Amino acid sequence: MKRIITILVASVLVLTSCSKEELPTPNQVNVVVQTPEVTPNPPANIPDLGAPTEAEFAALPQWTNIPDNVMEQVLIDRGFDNILDGKVLTSKISKITGFDSNDGTIMGQYGRMFERKDIHDFTGIENFISLQFISFWKCPISTVNIRNLKRLKILGMSECPITGTIDISQNTQLEEIGFQNAAERCDDPTYPFGKTLGLTSIDVSHNLKLKRIYLACNRITSIDVSMLTNLEEIYLGGSAWQSYKVGGGNPIQRLDLSHNTKIRVVNVEACNLNYLNVKNNGILDRCITIYNPNLNQILVDNASAMNAVAQNNPVTYRKDAHSVFVQ
Amino acid sequence: MTLIYSGAISLGAIADEFGAARSNVSLRSRSSAAGKGTPDAMSEFYGYTAPKAAFQHGTTVNGPNQTNSSGTLVTYKSNVLITLKCFGGTSTGATAYATYWINGVGTAQTATAPQYGMQYASINVATPGSRTAALSIYPGPTGASSSQYADVVAS
> Quick check: is B70 in a domain?
no
Q: Do B144 and B86 share a domain, yes or no? A: yes
How many distinct structural domains can be found in chain B?
A: 2
Minimum CA–CA partner of B18 in chain A: A316
Instruction: Tell me the count of A-B CB pairs closer than 8 A.
Output: 111
Q: Class assignment of domain A153-327?
A: alpha beta
pLDDT digits (tens, 9 = 90+) for A196-248: 999 999 999 999 999 999 999 999 999 999 999 999 999 998 754 454 456 78
Question: Are B8 and A137 a contacting pair at CB < 8 A?
Answer: yes
> Quick check: is B83 in a domain?
yes
Q: Do B87 and B40 share a domain, yes or no? A: no
Question: Are A315 and B146 a contacting pair at CB < 8 A?
Answer: yes
Range of the domain at B92: 77-154
> Quick check: is B105 in a domain?
yes
Instruction: Kindly report the nearest CA distance between residue B19 and chain A, in angstroms.
Output: 6
CA distance A51 to A89: 19
Q: Do B39 and B106 share a domain, yes or no? A: no
CA distance A272 to B117: 34
pLDDT digits (tens, 9 = 90+) for B10-41: 888 888 887 777 777 788 887 877 778 888 88
Helices (H), chain B: 11-18, 27-33
Cα separation values, A154 from A193, A214, B80, Å:
21, 11, 46
pLDDT reported for residue A52: 96
Cα separation values, A199 from A113, A160, A183, A223, A267, Å:
23, 10, 14, 11, 17
Show me where the domains of chain A are located: 153-327
To the question of pTM greater than 0.90 for the whole model, the response is no
What are the backbone dihedrals phi and psi of residue A15, each rounded to the nearest 5 degrees, phi first?
A: -65, -45
Q: Is pLDDT larger for residue A111 or for residue B85?
A: A111
What are the backbone dihedrals phi and psi of residue B22, each rounded to the nearest 5 degrees, phi first?
A: -80, -20
pLDDT digits (tens, 9 = 90+) for B93-120: 333 323 333 333 332 222 222 223 333 3
> Quick check: is B51 in a domain?
no
Q: Do B89 and B40 share a domain, yes or no? A: no
Sign of CA dihedral A311, A316, A319, A325: negative
> Quick check: is B84 in a domain?
yes
Q: Do B36 and B82 share a domain, yes or no? A: no
pLDDT digits (tens, 9 = 90+) for A38-80: 444 445 578 899 899 999 999 999 999 999 999 999 999 999 9
Question: Are B12 and A158 a contacting pair at CB < 8 A?
Answer: no
> Quick check: is B94 in a domain?
yes
Helices vs strands, H then E, count in chain B: 2, 5
